């Protein structure tokens, strides 16, 4: 372990875990593990979050789902920001004592008025030289010196900010509560954080944080601001308009490794680490290959369709046993209680290449687990209105009825229907359609004869007869 490499991930609990947060967490994790450093999970527990401990539990379990394991030696935490509250105030006092901060008793309204009257923008350090001491309602502000701050960012290079455009920002509110900006820096200092890897939206605040680091007498950390994730309108992913909760993707049957893989390809490319040019690459390889220096500068669109492609890829790579296990919860939710696991195991290889998410599984095979298939009327109309539908069905019933139980398998069923179709001068694609609708209720689905084999002789014949009766009526 390299004790001097400490990467922090500092989410605020909000009741769900943001996919953007997942990505930065993953990046920090990859760095900490491959460099032999530590991933520090620090949770910004607000008052509301403290009343809802399940929110912070959610963060830990979301991280665990992603493979960021709290028991891993590289993992430290969770630590809670509120535990350091005393240190926040103490640091502010030191800043005041050393002249880096001063008290100001102007209210936001007064500031706005005066700025308007003077035709200037924002607070102009009006209380700087008043020599005010602490007092009720007085906020502590940072005395921004002349000059400029250069933020050395590992992904974006050196970014220069002119102090002239940074107002004397508030450190501690009039009620004595330190602001987030200060708390954050003090936590980072206290926890000896060496690398701050976070989303780009924090870049404009970084010069302020760097000034605080320096005023506190510390060398600032290595900064790295990675591009934000955006929606189709190129706006930052937001809880209100976008589907951003990691938990929702998990609950819809997206696989963690697929999500992890996809997230890491946003703003970064595995490059040489992927020998075949595909973007499908396992975590171990990602961990070894990931470098902040290789991260892109521009925002990336979170494309659910591409996520789905990755997910399908990962599903197809699963063993049948694993697939069955993974699908089980989704089947529990959708099928009648006590569904036959063996039956699903028999069909699993056939639905595997057809799944985008695990949640798609029940819809593909539910007809095998219900008393009667749900007939899609559109499908019925499309396939049962031909002249040959009824006679073909009748022929099929007659042919299948003569099957011995031991002959009831996909190959024989197919061969027999081929005989039938020849009698009608049809191709298999056409001839199987009425049977498919009669048995499954739909025109599309898993391979028909395999499904019939699983369904069994009696039930298949019964369903075909039901359809025949309906056609006769």
**Annotated active-site positions, please?**
239
Give the contacts of 385 (CB within 8 A, at least 6 positions apart).
Answer: none
Residue 51 touches RNA, criterion: CB under 7 A:
no
Q: Is 293 one of the binding residues for RNA (CB under 7 A)? A: yes
Residue window 354-373: x/- pattern of binding to RNA, with contact defined by CB under 7 A? x-------------------
> How far apart, in Å, are the Cα atoms of 175 and each of 137, 180, 344, 360, 364?
6, 14, 63, 54, 60
End-to-end CA gap in the chain: 78
In angstroms, what is the minimal distance from the CB of 442 to RNA? 8
Taking the least distance from each CB to RNA, the nearer of 72 and 231 is 231
Among positions 240-279, residues that touch RNA (CB under 7 A) are 265-269, 271, 277-279
Strand boundaries in 61-106, DSSP class E:
75-80, 101-104
Q: Is there binding between residue 319 and RNA (CB under 7 A)?
A: no
Per-residue binding string, RNA, 325-344, x by CB under 7 A, is --------------------
Q: Which stretch binds RNA (CB under 7 A): 52-60, 225-233, 327-335, 386-394?
A: 225-233
Nearer to RNA, 38 or 210 (CB): 210
86 burial level (CB within 10 Å; 0-12, 13-18, 19+): exposed
Query: Coil, helix or strand for 40?
Result: strand
Q: How far is the CB of 111 from RNA (least distance, A)?
A: 7
Task: Tell me if 31 contacts RNA by CB under 7 A.
Answer: no
How far is Cα 177 from Cα 187, in angstroms, rounded to an integer?
Answer: 15
Please report, as residue ranges, which positions from 111 to 150 form the binding site for RNA (by CB under 7 A).
111, 121-123, 137-139
**Closest by alpha carbon to 22, among 57, 69, 65?**
65
274 φ, ψ to 5°? -105, 105
Output the smallest distance, CB 73 to RNA, in A.
Answer: 29
Task: Answer whether 259's CB lies under 8 Å from 249's CB.
Answer: yes
Identify the residue whose tokens are 């240190």. Answer: 87
Determine which residue in the list 2, 288, 296, 319 makes contact with RNA, applying CB under 7 A. Answer: 296
**58 contacts RNA (rule: CB under 7 A):** no
Residue placing its CB nearer to RNA in the complex, 309 or 328: 309
CB under 7 A: which stretch of 70-78, 86-94, 319-327, 442-450 binds RNA? 442-450
Among 160, 371, 377, 404, binds RNA (CB under 7 A): 160
Looking at beta carbons only, is 46 or 465 nearer to RNA? 46
- Please spell the DSSP secondary structure of 227-280, one letter per residue: PPEE-TTSPBP-TTTS--BHHHHHHTT--HHHHHHHHHTSS---GGGSTTS-S-
Total residues in contact with RNA, by rule CB under 7 A = 85
| Strand duo 157-162 + 148-153: pairing | antiparallel
CA nearest neighbour of 11 among 268, 179, 184, 237? 184
Under a CB-based contact definition with an 8 Å cutoff, are residues 267 and 296 in contact? yes
* 230, 256, 437, 464: residue in contact with RNA (rule CB under 7 A): 230
Q: Is 84 in the site for RNA (CB under 7 A)?
A: no
Binding residue for RNA (CB under 7 A) from 15, 36, 73, 108? 108
- Going by DSSP bridges, is the β-strand pair 300-301/101-104 parallel, antiparallel, or unpaired? unpaired
Instruction: With beta carbons less than 8 A apart as the criterion, state whether 255 and 314 touch.
Output: yes
Tokens of 165: 């455009």
Sheet holding 148-153, edge to edge: 75-80, 38-43, 6-9, 195-199, 222-226, 148-153, 157-162
Nearest to 416 by CA among 430, 402, 437: 402
* 235 versus 243: smaller Cβ distance to RNA: 235
Contact 90, 178 (CB under 8 A): no
107, 319, 385, 458: residue in contact with RNA (rule CB under 7 A): 107
Least spacing, CB of residue 368 vs RNA, in Å: 14
Asked if 87 is part of the footprint of RNA (rule: CB under 7 A), the reply reads no
The least CB distance from residue 47 to RNA, in Å, is: 9
Q: Which of 41, 62, 144, 170 binds RNA (CB under 7 A)?
A: 170
Rounded to a whole number of angstroms, the minimum distance from the CB of residue 298 to RNA is: 3
Identify which of residues 139 and 197 has a Cβ nearer to RNA in the complex: 139
- Sites for RNA among residues 200-219 (CB under 7 A): 200-201, 203-205
Q: 333: part of which helix (H) or strand (E)?
A: helix 320-334
Give the nearest distance from C-beta 198 to RNA in angstroms. 10
Binding flag, residue 300, RNA (CB under 7 A): yes
Q: How far is the CB of 333 from RNA (least distance, A)?
A: 22
- The tally of CA atoms less than 13 A away on the side-chain side of residue 258 is 24
CB of 72 to RNA, least distance (A): 26
Give the interface segment with RNA, choosing from 91-99, 185-193, 332-340, 428-436 (CB under 7 A). 428-436
């Amino acid at each position: 372990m390299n004790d001097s490499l400490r990467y922090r991930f500092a989410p605020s609990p909000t009741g769900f875990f943001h996919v953007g947060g997942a990505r930065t967490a993953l990046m920090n994790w990859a760095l900490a593990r491959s460099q032999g450093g530590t991933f520090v999970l620090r949770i910004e527990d607000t008052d509301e979050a403290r009343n809802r401990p399940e929110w912070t539990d959610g963060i830990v379990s979301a991280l665990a789902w992603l493979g960021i394991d709290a028991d891993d030696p590289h993992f430290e935490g969770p630590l809670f920001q509120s535990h350091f509250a005393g240190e926040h105030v103490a640091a502010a006092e030191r800043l005041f004592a050393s002249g880096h901060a001063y008290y100001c008793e102007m209210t936001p309204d007064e500031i706005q008025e005066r700025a308007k009257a003077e035709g200037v923008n924002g607070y102009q350090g009006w209380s700087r030289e008043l020599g005010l001491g602490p007092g009720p309602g007085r906020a502590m502000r940072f005395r921004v010196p002349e000059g400029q701050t250069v933020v050395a960012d590992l992904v974006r290079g050196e970014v220069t900010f002119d102090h002239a455009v940074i107002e004397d920002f508030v450190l501690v509110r009039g009620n004595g509560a330190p602001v987030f900006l200060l708390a954050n820096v003090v936590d980072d200092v206290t926890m000896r954080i060496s690398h701050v890897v976070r989303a780009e939206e924090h870049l404009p605040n970084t010069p302020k944080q760097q000034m605080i680091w320096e005023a506190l007498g510390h060398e600032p950390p290595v900064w790295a601001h990675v591009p934000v994730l955006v929606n189709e309108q190129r706006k930052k992913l937001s809880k209100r308009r976008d589907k951003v909760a990691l938990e929702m993707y998990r609950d819809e049957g997206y696989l963690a490794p697929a999500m992890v893989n996809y997230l890491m390809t946003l703003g970064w490319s595995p490059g040489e680490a992927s020998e075949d040019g595909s973007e499908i690459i396992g975590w171990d390889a990602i961990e070894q290959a990931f470098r902040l220096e290789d991260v892109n500068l521009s925002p990336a669109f979170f494309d659910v369709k591409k996520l789905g492609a990755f997910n399908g890829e990962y599903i197809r790579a699963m063993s049948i046993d694993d697939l069955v296990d993974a699908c089980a919860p989704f089947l529990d939710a959708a099928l009648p209680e006590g569904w036959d696991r063996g039956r699903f195991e028999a069909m699993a290889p056939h639905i595997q290449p057809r799944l985008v998410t695990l949640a798609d599984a029940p819809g593909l095979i539910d007809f095998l687990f219900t008393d009667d298939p749900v007939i899609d009327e559109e499908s019925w109309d499309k396939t049962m209105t031909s002249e040959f539908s009824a006679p073909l069905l009748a022929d099929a019933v007659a042919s299948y009825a003569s099957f011995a139980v031991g002959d009831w398998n996909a190959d024989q069923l197919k061969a027999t229907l081929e005989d039938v179709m020849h009698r009608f001068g049809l191709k298999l694609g056409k001839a199987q359609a009425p049977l498919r609708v009669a048995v499954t209720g739909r025109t599309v689905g898993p391979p028909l004869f395999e499904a019939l084999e699983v369904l069994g002789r009696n039930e298949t014949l019964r369903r075909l007869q039901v359809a025949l009766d309906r056609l006769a009526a």
